[in-house]
Amino acid sequence: MAVIAVDIAGRPYEVRIGAGLLAELVPQCRGMLRKRGVPIITDANVHTAWGDVVEAALRDNGHEPHWRILQPGEQTKSWDELAATVNWLLEMEVERNDHIIALGGGVIGDLTGFCASVTKRGCKFIQVPTTLLAQVDSSVGGKTAINTPAGKNLVGAFHQPSLVLADLSALETLPDRELRAGYAEVVKYGLIDDADFFAWCDTNGAAMLAGDSHLREYAVAYSVSAKARIVAEDEFETTGKRALLNLGHTFGHALEAETGFSARLLHGEAVALGMVLAARYSAHLGLMPRASAEHVAQHIGDVGLPARLGELELDCNGSDLVRHMLHDKKMDAGTLPFLLMKGVGHTYLDKTVALDDVAAFLDEELSRG
């Protein structure tokens, strides 16, 4: 088992990565499960795949699981579900020092973490991510949120978990599409600031996705270590360092909004295409060689992720997508900073981008088919 420390001042915690952690849930959470009853928030798919394992793990150690089973998908990150889940926690008489378990992917982790942040002005929670995307990204760092009609993740809080348990066995039950979507957040770490890791992805990404357990453990551990380092430097995204983790997200969130935050385009797929667009737009501006941008697109496409805007068959234009971007959380005094690239492994925050130029660029990408 790999153990990675997230060194948040005053609130450090561990991310434990290995196979079989769900079956060892109680000893892994030793000292955190104070009561017989344990509230667990999950979705129907995860409950079907892993509910029996978690149920047995708790009951065999003297605990009684209390399940809240939600519908899968981004639509669950809503005002209505936030209110209903908080009310459920209050009915369960959850106390501030109790731990809620978030068992699932990014949607469940985001919603549970936000519920924990506001219930009784802040109670505790444990992230048990079951998707690749959640294991390498959303379960670490304390960002929690829900979606609104105005955009994705616009209402939320920074609220760090007490522990993250990333069971690699859970990846074996993931649909291939979900696994590929999570891979987008793996390769992102190479594109941000480590060209050598991008090269590792180039060589090993396909085999990792195909099921090589050693490659999966390395990919998850490397990604968590990279994120932990950045989060420790900039927990609340105030210095700009943590903003680098949003590479591909400005374009990606606009695409998610245009497709209605639906299964038509998964979050990781949107991020993957968003990174391709960030690379191509950087080449458009002369910041990175066009060949490097196309290398990024080629790799994304080769692992089965969307690499061309035209393939989404959107009924919109570049200006429509830019209008979605105006709701981006990074908006500052009417200016939208963009994460652009000076090369593979050299991402930076640019506050001088003209949105009309972005719209024109997107029109060209939409016409490429």
Q: What is the 3-state secondary structure (H, E, C) of 141-190?
A: CCEEEEEECCEEEEEEEECCCCEEEEEHHHHHHCCHHHHHHHHHHHHHHH
Residue of 47, 227, 299, 330 marked catalytic: 227
Q: Is 311 marked active-site?
A: no
Known catalytic membership, residue 246? yes
> Around Cβ 102, how many Cβ atoms within 10 Å?
30
Is the dihedral angle over the CA atoms 239, 240, 241, 242 positive or is it negative? positive
Q: How far is CA 235 from the centre of its chain?
A: 16
Contact residues for 229 (Cβ-Cβ < 8 A; gap 6+): none
Q: State yes or no: is 93 an active-site residue.
A: no
Of 143, 180, 280, 330, the active-site residue reads 143
At 211, give phi and psi (nearest 5°): 125, 5
Out of 81, 178, 185, 365, pick the active-site residue.
185
Q: Is 249 a catalytic residue?
A: yes
Catalytic residue among 242, 280, 299, 324: 242
Clarify whether 267 is annotated catalytic: yes
Structure-token pair, residue 171: 């990846």
- Determine which one of 77, 124, 216, 249 is catalytic: 249
Q: Measured on CA atoms in the order 17, 143, 26, 59, is the torsion positive or negative?
A: negative
Catalytic residue among 47, 253, 280, 284: 253
- Tell me, yes or no, if 233 is annotated catalytic: no
Among 237, 256, 258, 269, the one annotated catalytic:
237
96 as an active site residue: the answer is no
List 30, 36, 121, 313, catalytic entry = 121
| Catalytic residue selected from 216, 267, 324, 330 | 267
Query: Is residue 299 among the annotated active site residues?
Result: no
- How far the first Cα of the chain sits from its last, in Å, is 45
8 Å CB contact between 209 and 177:
no
Best CA proximity match to 135, nearest among 224, 23, 201: 224
Residues catalogued as catalytic: 121, 143, 185, 227, 237, 242, 246, 249, 253, 267
